[in-house]
Amino acid sequence: MHDDRTLVEARLKRVLDERIRPAVYPESVPLEVAVWHAPGEPVPVAEGLAAAPEPIEVGARWGAPWGTSWFRVTGTVPETWAGRTVEALLDLGFDENMPGFQCEGLVYRPDGSPVKGLNPRNQWVRIGAPVKGGEEVRLHIEAASNPVILDYHPFLPTQLGDKETAGSEPQYTLARMDLAVLDETVWELVLDLEVLGELMAELPVESARRWDILRAVERALDAVDLQDVNGTAAAARSRLTGVLAEPAAPSAHRISAVGHAHIDSAWLWPLRETVRKVARTTSNMTALIEDEPEFIFAMSQAQQWAWVKEHRPEVWARVKKAVADGRFVPAGGMWVESDTNMPGSEAMARQFVHGKRFFLDEFGIENDEAWLPDTFGFAAGLPQIIKAAGSKWLLTQKISWSRTNKFPHHTFQWEGIDGTRIFTHFPPVDTYNCSMRGAELAHAAKNFKDKGAARHSLAPTGWGDGGGGTTREMVAKATRLRDLEGSPTVVWETPTEFFKKAEAEYANAPVWVGELYLELHRATLTSQARTKQGNRRSEHLLREAELWAATAAVRTGFPYPYEELDRIWKTVLLHQFHDILPGSSIAWVHREARRTYERIAEELNGIIDGAQRALAGEGSTELVFNSAPHRRDAVPAGGALPAVVESEVALAPRVNGGYVLDNGLLRVEIDARGLVVSAYDIDADRETIAPGCVANLLQLHPDFPNMWDAWDVDEFYRNTVTDLVDADEVGLGADGVSVRIVRSFGASRVTQVLSLAPGERRLGIDTEVDWHETEKFLKLAFPLDVHADRYASETQFGHFYRPTHTNTSWEAAKFEACNHRFVHIDEPGWGVAIVNDSTYGHDVTRTVRDSDSGTTTTVRVSLLRAPRFPDPETDQGVHHFRHALVPGAGIGDAVREGWRINLPERRMSGAREVAPLVGVAQDAVVVTAVKLADDGSGDVVVRFHESRGGRTRATLTAGFEIGGVTVTDLLERPLAEAATPRRDGDRVTLSLRPFELVTLRLTRA
């Protein structure tokens, strides 16, 4: 037989595009259209429906950036269409290639009830099936003219990312507004041919199945009269029934399709627009659920559910019914799909607390899975948190984006820092916007790394980011692919159903230990410094507010601010979403975030001040309050004592210029350029700074990645560096015992103050940067005379080790990594910590010196970047950072100093000392939360963990009479399997394994 394959395939494409698809709607009549443009922010539905619109014609421009236009479409169904299926085709000016990234609409009936969303791949509204003829049609469309930020030429700087700079030029051209007859036979034929054509293209050319399909398609095309597609579509379909009925091989890969619409809670749109994106998508999905009896849709992010409940009660009613029917599934059990690298220990825990509690309270549903398809890598402390929240599974897809190394598994056990293992799945379809195309499913089957041991994978199916979710076409394709030879099998299932099957078939899944590092988007650890600082400060203010409010409530009857703290926590958690905290959203998002963090700080400082005043009483004694989890200058953790006179720090001129700082423990030499040339640990008789090197060295790199400007820093940035060694000024600080340095470079200026703390081996470095560079990367370098093949960086409830070398491509790819409050590097018996109050990104490198063959290990803190997309003014302006160099530090010192710099002491005049509400004697045990129980019972909840990576016995002493003690999960529910702690009066003792996290609930007698 002659090979006419390409001839038939080309014929299929042209006939589908030019004849069959256009015949889906064979008859149409125009609708009358009128529009009212809301003058500012979106208006309530009732106001939009009641507004007086003006006529507008198809072809007219509409929609200023970020505007809202209310369209009214009216018409009459022709009498001649009686008995047929009729739909309204409403094209706002869509580009089908941009679902979720341009204009969108939500259709309402005149009574205000929602119908469905309008999106580039979902432009129809059902009028009747069948119609009687003569029906009057009246629909209203709330249309959002969201501008296209990420265009065909991506990453171009644009002012469209903020309504304050976006202008008023109309963004869209109104396209088709018609009533049309839907020929369902032709629509089905289109899906038959698409499924078979896509499957055929993925089969081997030598496969008999491919040729069977080819011949069937050819026969179907022969049956189509191109001048009467509608009259011959049924005959064409009949010629495909045989190849569509052939069952899949028993060994075929099995795909669990989960309806999905990944919606970034903010990204290239502001938070307020996400509220509407969610309403459109949930309207779409509840409508599809009513039409398709097998379809299952899952939605994560409790915050998005809460938005629907608050802002769209009419949509919420439909959602609740679909949940009750088991078809609309709460997923993930987190408040948002957060970043997991940067949120602190308690914040990461509260993501699950607030997310799971919302779904339990609203629906009685407990989530067993964490659902994070798009998060930019996963911290090694996360498995323990997932388990402590009562969950056991994790799904993500993002690791498939890694550029250097291909992850070796799709289904595996992920082991965290404490030994906890979580059953984890990466969908091999490699997208969280699967559309049921043959190429996607074939890729999933071929790509699946665990063939031979496992057979199941999951496919999140639907257009995300406001693209409308799953479409009826995807559902129709899945129906054909349920059991089709040559294809993986497809069935609609919930995440729980998938994970149960996957876990059951793969009892001995391989284990991956440590972080799940994404070899991409590393610059998200630095971009938008103010957002990151706002997050860090909010986390610590929340700790203080809970600690002091709980202490005051127990001691003085102070009213514990349950509702305020709940609301503030949810706001902070929202801003940890994986495009807000990482700094990859438009300017509008970060402008609003700054203002939100300012309001949060003001409110939390008010709570803290009120609680501390209640505790201190009226008096003139200056009291020092210590919110950190370790004793500080004789003040116990969680307590307050009278202030004491501090010891002296000596400052003297240095030979050859500069200054020497000395407090008897640490002697620091600063040269005439303001660079640290020596940091000498007097007790250890040891120098910190590597020979011939200088520390506190600011370094400037060009920073123009190949893609994803705010997200990425590419390794070649290191090829060019400018050391900022010239100083405008080097002199005494305002206190007379510190050194002040001023440097200018480009259009920017840096002012630093270096100081020693009395009685501490700690060099404080306060840095102010007035930053006006573009596409530059600013680092602060510390070359250390330490030989180490690994270093520790803090993560949630512990720390994680990374190599300092680049033996393999896996290590080399980690050229920018995350830490929380500290990085620690050591040799046996002596180490150095670098602690911070607000930075996350860093790099660690090692070199061997020619002079003495010693090793220089250089730690560099990432301070600022200046990408121009999606926010062209990223990080412009004044920034403040606090760091400290701590020579002679063990890992426990690093932990303590990290907390110390983030929780500075507070001073207040009062009458009485404050004893801690709870105390733990062992320094290795860190208390991360002291609060009253969320249920309002008045019980005291204490959360703590072992912080050094070793075993310890912890004794907790309560500063009140205990009636009972219970080990709980993060949601403060008793853990049945937990051992009962030993209790002796108001003392509770229990053993902790390395990094173990424990939550205790103490009932007050």
Residues that are catalytic: 374
Residues 829 and 684: their CA atoms lie apart, in Å, by: 10
> Please, are residues 866 and 874 in contact by the beta-carbon 8 Å criterion?
yes
> Please, are residues 649 and 758 in contact by the beta-carbon 8 Å criterion?
yes
Residues 192 and 195: their CA atoms lie apart, in Å, by: 5
Residues 673 and 690: their CA atoms lie apart, in Å, by: 18
Residue with tokens 């539905």: 45
Q: Number of helices (H) and strands (E), helices first, in the chain?
A: 19, 53
Residues 75 and 91: their CA atoms lie apart, in Å, by: 16
Q: Which of 422, 369, 431 is nearest to 400 (CA)?
A: 431
Contacts of 562 (CB under 8 A, 6+ apart): 932, 934, 936
- At position 787, the amino acid (one-letter code) is H
The DSSP call for residue 695 is B
Contacts of 317 (CB under 8 A, 6+ apart): none
> Please, are residues 833 and 826 in contact by the beta-carbon 8 Å criterion?
no
Q: Which of 776, 856, 778, 844 is nearest to 815 (CA)?
A: 844
Largest CA distance in the chain: 103
For strands 621-625 and 906-910, give the pairing: antiparallel
Using CB atoms within 10 Å of the CB of residue 293, give its burial: 0 to 12 exposed, 13 to 18 middle, 19+ buried: exposed
DSSP 378-412: B-TTHHHHHHHTT--EEE--GGGG-SS---S-SEE
Using CB atoms within 10 Å of the CB of residue 641, give its burial: 0 to 12 exposed, 13 to 18 middle, 19+ buried: middle
> Please, are residues 488 and 482 in contact by the beta-carbon 8 Å criterion?
no
> φ, ψ for residue 745 (rounded to 5)?
-160, 140
List, in sequence order, every residue forming a beta bridge with 1000; answer none if it has no partner: 942, 967
Alpha helices, H only, 372-488? 382-388, 438-447, 472-480
Contacts of 11 (CB under 8 A, 6+ apart): 218, 221
CA 558-566-348 angle, 5° bins: 120
Residues 688 and 709: their CA atoms lie apart, in Å, by: 36
906 token code pair:
């507070």
